[in-house]
Amino acid sequence: MPPPLLACLLLILLSPAAARPRSVAVEAPGPAARPRVFPLRARQVPAGALPRPPSKLRFHHNVSLTVSLAVGSPPQNVTMVLDTGSELSWLLCAPGRRANASAPRGASFRAGASRTFAAVPCGSAQCSSRDLPAPPSCDRASRQCRVSLSYADGSTSDGALATDVFGVGDAPPLRSAFGCMSSAYDSSPDGVATAGLLGMNRGTLSFVSQASTRRFSYCISDRDDAGVLLLGHSDLPFLPLNYTPMYQPALPLPYFDRVAYSVQLVGIRVGGKPLPIPASVLAPDHTGAGQTMVDSGTQFTFLLGDAYSALKAEFLKQTKPLLPALDDPNFAFEEAFDTCFRVPAGRPPPSVRLPAVSLLFKGAEMSVAGDRLLYKVPGERRGGDGVWCLTFGNADMVPLTAYVIGHHHQMNLWVEYDLERGRVGLAPVKCDVASERLGLML
């Protein structure tokens, strides 16, 4: 998890998955392991569905990526957010054997109903993890390990560090540690029937590490129901992946998140024009601040101030003939997005004519174009015009000390995390096409 000065990433609020829940499948060791495919959902959800830890921004309108899992014995179907920017998986746990009657179906885990549920004792190695933002503590009375989440409103939530079995398809069930949290949640009609978060970074308590999964990948669709998540190894000849190495400094640095999926940003282009950004601005400094993280749990992308200013100036210049700028120095959507435009109400912006923004890495690039460039600010009007903002935010306004690439800019892009070779692979692809091809292959 990020150190304190990185603790402002956007919490992507949790959403229901419409598909029938399916078990997580984790690869067995060895070259013959068969990868597993299951749906990855993207949904817009209301604010307030679950508490927000300070490591994620409190946005009012968010999209989450959710997967459906089977946990416990007998198995309980739960829906969790897939977050490559977090370590500790956690579930909202009902206080007794029965779920809260006011909660949506699947919105909590009934720990007392699982015969394989076990609290982690204080003396265990898991209770001594140094990767979590707040170290676990010991309940002296019960001698059980406790974990805490601190929320953006200043409140906290405590829970037991526990283990239980996660369904792994036709492989043996996986026993995994997670936080069994007792936080309140929104049970209104607009609430979200989601039980928790699946931590997928490189920390010792992440699901990836505990499952010994050395490669996983996903495709985030621009539709709600066509995403796909693949756990395990697979050769995908129809996906010509370009790889960029994960970046790791030789020595520990105070503001470098060592368990994040960090890559090296080397340049940015707008409409094919390179921005005049010094290489030193795009690289981590001597403290570790300035790393670039790929995060499925953040919606939009954040650039540090100097890079953002260069992007803003060039994007406004190239779009001047197409869109009138908002020209309101006092307005910033969610306090970080101030490159905004006026678009007549009821009309979409001219997306196909907007200049693409390309993020350049060593050996790979990510191009953001069309509908992914602008976001309509809900409820914001200027006369007869709506307000649309560029989906790149100014990290300095949050503040953040890192570049963060959110999942909105990973749509229709195959993203592979290869921990064996220390690299991230990227390939443009339509997710529905990839899903069909994977169905035929696997």
Q: What does the alpha-carbon distance between residue 100 and residue 193 come to, in Å, rounded to a whole number?
A: 12
Number of Cβ within a 10 Å radius of residue 60: 13
Longest Cα–Cα distance of the chain, Å, equals 69
Note whether 310 and 339 are within 8 A (CB): no
Number of Cβ within a 10 Å radius of residue 295: 27
Active-site hit among 164, 257, 295, 338 = 295
Residue 37, CA distances (Å) to 25, 218, 410 in order: 8, 9, 18
- The answer to whether residue 328 is catalytic is no
Active-site hit among 83, 131, 164, 186 = 83
Which amino acid appears at position 421 of this protein? R
Contacts of 357 (CB under 8 A, 6+ apart): 268, 269, 270, 311, 315, 367, 368, 369, 373, 392
Residue 18 falls in which region: left (phi positive, over 0), alpha (psi -120 to 50) or beta: alpha
- The DSSP call for residue 409 is G
- The answer to whether residue 83 is catalytic is yes
Question: Which residues does the annotation mark as catalytic?
Answer: 83, 295
